[in-house]
């Protein structure tokens, strides 16, 4: 018997409301979304009741970079399960070492060392701990409206709305406007341990920084002896048409954080990669940071398969080609719907549609459920709809997604006419 749809929809919703989140259940009921993830395969997700199919252009921020249930990732995990388990994080691990070596080989410069975690927030926390441990300084600067997760230190880097109820928060965190080198320079001094940015902040609305921004951040960090941390949780692993989004800006950070897509959507794993000159800290304190499930040995094989797939000849070229199809499609959509579509933001398949009003993002998300597309508005700028399709999307599916967007924008226009 299938695991999907064992109970009718209303029973699932009631059970979820009673035992998981009454608030979420109420929210979705109020906004008229009753989609429950059922079957999922490749670029598609189906409603549990089976009658609706969407192209997943949300992909959980890149978890499903390779689409849903990639057969090679599943096979790799099954193979690992025949002989391995989580492993013991206190000891030397053959499998963690293999994955770390592969990750390091995919990184620019001397980003050669890895601390494993389970999720993105944890990996960001590790990055900040290392920056503070390395510099002996307290302060961390991040972008106002950015997002690095909901764990302790990551939460402190993030947006006011998530931090405010949970005070007192750790001191030493300061927020500057994204993309503004002068503001960053003014905030930095001899107490700055680290500067952390998402290469392209997703929750802020897929905001593309000026092309020379990261070269400037690099220079400022070098001048002040601060650690440059780049969060590649969404932009990494091929999303921007290169292994790392930051590669497209020609800059090497001191610490790079990857998570979501490294799981292949199958087994959670994250990694904090750091440069050789930071290693003295963990060398002196090798047991100072612990994550029991970080780099779980069976998960290493899912991640290794992910890295194999994205390293294959033609993979990045495919991403860039699909990005080109979207780019051409966006030009047409702008012509078709000038009253509601303001701009298309894009780097590779990291994409967002900027709409004419904050009200339109949620409306587009709703429209997507009726027009075959899963797309979520950016929480910190609701006039932007995030579009992160699987990197494995094919040309006919890009055409389908663009047709859906055309229909959704036409519906939006009709609502506001």
Q: Which of 42, 87, 120, 294 binds ligand PLP (CB under 6 A)?
A: 120
For residue 155, the 8-state DSSP code is: H
Residue 343 Cβ, how far from ligand PLP at the closest point, in Å?
21
Q: Coil, strand, or helix at residue 378?
A: strand
Q: What is the size of the binding site for ligand PLP (CB under 6 A)?
A: 14
In the list 99, 124, 262, 367, the residue contacting ligand PLP (rule: CB under 6 A) is 124
Give 204 or 322: the residue with its C-beta nearer to ligand PLP: 204
Give the nearer residue to ligand PLP in terms of CB position, either 149 or 348: 149
When asked if residue 200 is in the footprint of ligand PLP (CB under 6 A), the reply is no
- Which long-range contacts (C-beta less than 8 Å, at least 24 apart) are formed by 320-323? 320/241, 320/348, 321/395, 322/349, 322/389, 322/391, 322/393, 322/394, 322/395, 322/398, 323/241, 323/348, 323/349, 323/351
Can residue 263 be called a binding residue for ligand PLP (CB under 6 A)? no
CA dist., res. 299 & res. 118, Å (int): 10
Angle between helices 22-31 and 9-19 (to 10 degrees): 140
- Please enumerate, as own/partner, the contacts of 213-217 that have beta carbons within 8 Å and a separation of 24 or more: 213/179, 213/181, 213/249, 214/246, 214/249, 214/250, 214/251, 215/249, 215/250, 215/251, 216/181, 216/184, 217/181, 217/184, 217/251
Q: Does 265 bind ligand PLP (CB under 6 A)?
A: no
230 touches ligand PLP by CB under 6 A:
no
Q: Measured between alpha carbons, how far is 63 from 234 in angstroms, rounded to an integer?
A: 8
Q: If binding is defined by CB under 6 A, does position 181 make contact with ligand PLP?
A: no
Contact status: 364 vs ligand PLP (CB under 6 A): no
Residue 55's DSSP bridge partners are 44, 373
**In the bound complex, what is the minimum distance in angstroms from residue 216's beta carbon to ligand PLP?**
21
Site for ligand PLP (CB under 6 A): which residue of 233, 304, 333, 408?
A: 233
Q: Output helix, strand, coil percentages for the chain, rounded to the nearest 5.
A: 45, 20, 35
The distance of closest approach from Cβ of residue 63 to ligand PLP in the complex, given in angstroms and rounded to an integer, is 8
One residue of 234, 258, 379, 392 binding ligand PLP per CB under 6 A: 234
- Rounded CA separation 135/278 (Å): 9
Q: Is 294 in the site for ligand PLP (CB under 6 A)?
A: no
- Cβ of residue 121: shortest distance to ligand PLP, in angstroms? 3
Binding string, 136-155, against ligand PLP, x = CB under 6 A?
A: -----------xxx------
Residue 297 interacting with ligand PLP (CB under 6 A): no
Per-residue x/- track, 100-119, ligand PLP (CB under 6 A): -------------------x
301 binds ligand PLP (CB under 6 A): no
Inter-residue contact 82 to 413 (CB < 8 Å)? no
Q: Can you name the residues that pair with 132 across neighbouring β-strands?
A: none
Q: Tell me how far apart the alpha carbons of residues 350 and 97 are, in angstroms, rounded to a whole number.
A: 30
Closest contact distance (angstroms) between CB of 44 and ligand PLP is: 22
Minimum CB separation of residue 81 from ligand PLP in Å reads 23
Q: Which is nearer to ligand PLP, 231 or 254 (CB)?
A: 231
Closest CB 219 distance from ligand PLP, rounded Å: 24
Based on the shown chain and the rule CB under 6 A, indicate whether residue 348 belongs to the binding site for ligand PLP: no
148 vs 371, which CB is nearer to ligand PLP?
148
Given a contact cutoff of 8 angstroms between Cβ atoms, the answer to whether 61 and 233 are in contact is: yes
Residue 61 interacting with ligand PLP (CB under 6 A): yes
Does position 261 bind ligand PLP by CB under 6 A? no
- Least separation in angstroms between residue 262's CB and ligand PLP is 10
- Within 13 A of 313's CA, how many CA atoms are on the CB side? 0
- Please name the residues in contact with 107: beta carbons below 8 A apart, sequence gap of 6 or more: 243, 244, 256, 273
Nearer to ligand PLP (CB atom), residue 61 or residue 133? 61
Assess 388 for contact with ligand PLP (CB under 6 A).
Answer: no
Q: Quote the CA–CA distance of 151 and 146 in Å, as a whole number.
A: 14
Using CB under 6 A, list all residues that contact ligand PLP. 61, 119-121, 124, 147-149, 198, 202, 231, 233-234, 259
């Amino acid at each position: 018997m299938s695991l999907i749809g064992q109970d009718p929809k209303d029973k699932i919703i009631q059970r979820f409301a009673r035992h998981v989140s009454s608030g979420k259940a109420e929210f979705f009921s109020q906004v008229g979304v009753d989609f429950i993830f059922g079957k999922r395969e490749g670029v598609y997700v189906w409603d549990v009741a089976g009658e609706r199919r969407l192209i997943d252009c949300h992909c959980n921020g890149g978890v499903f970079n390779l689409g849903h249930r990639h057969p090679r990732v599943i096979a790799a995990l099954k193979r690992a399960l025949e002989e391995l388990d989580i492993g013991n994080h206190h000891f030397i691990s053959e499998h963690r070492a293999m994955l770390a070596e592969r990750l390091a080989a995919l990184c620019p410069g001397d980003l050669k060392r890895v601390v494993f975690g389970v999720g993105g927030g944890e990996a960001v926390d590790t990055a900040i701990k290392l920056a503070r441990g390395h510099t002996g300084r307290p302060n961390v600067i991040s972008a106002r409206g950015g997002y690095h997760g909901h764990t302790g230190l990551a939460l402190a880097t993030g947006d006011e709305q998530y931090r405010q109820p949970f005070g007192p928060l750790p001191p030493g965190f300061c927020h500057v406007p994204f993309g503004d080198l002068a503001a960053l320079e003014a905030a930095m001094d001899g107490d700055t341990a680290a500067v952390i940015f998402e290469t392209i902040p997703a929750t802020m609305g897929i905001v593309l920084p000026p092309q020379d921004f990261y070269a400037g951040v690099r220079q400022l960090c070098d001048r002040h002896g601060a650690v440059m941390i780049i969060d590649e949780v969404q932009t990494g692993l091929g999303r921007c048409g290169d292994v790392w989004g930051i590669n497209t800006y020609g800059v090497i950070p001191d610490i790079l954080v990857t998570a979501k897509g490294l799981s292949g959507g199958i087994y959670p794993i994250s990694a904090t990669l750091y440069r050789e000159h930071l290693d003295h800290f963990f060398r002196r304190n090798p047991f100072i940071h612990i994550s029991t499930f970080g780099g779980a040995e069976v998960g290493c094989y899912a991640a290794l398969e992910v890295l194999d797939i994205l390293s294959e000849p033609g993979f990045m070229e495919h991403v860039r080609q699909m990005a080109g199809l979207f780019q051409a499609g966006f030009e047409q959509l702008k012509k078709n719907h000038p009253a509601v579509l303001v701009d298309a933001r894009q780097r590779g398949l990291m994409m967002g549609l900027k709409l004419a009003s904050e009200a339109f993002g949620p409306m587009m998300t709703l429209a997507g459920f009726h027009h075959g597309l899963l797309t979520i508005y950016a929480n910190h700028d609701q006039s932007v709809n995030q579009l992160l399709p699987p990197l494995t999307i094919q040309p006919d599916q890009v055409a389908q997604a663009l047709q859906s967007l055309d229909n959704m924008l036409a519906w939006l226009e009709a609502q506001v006419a």
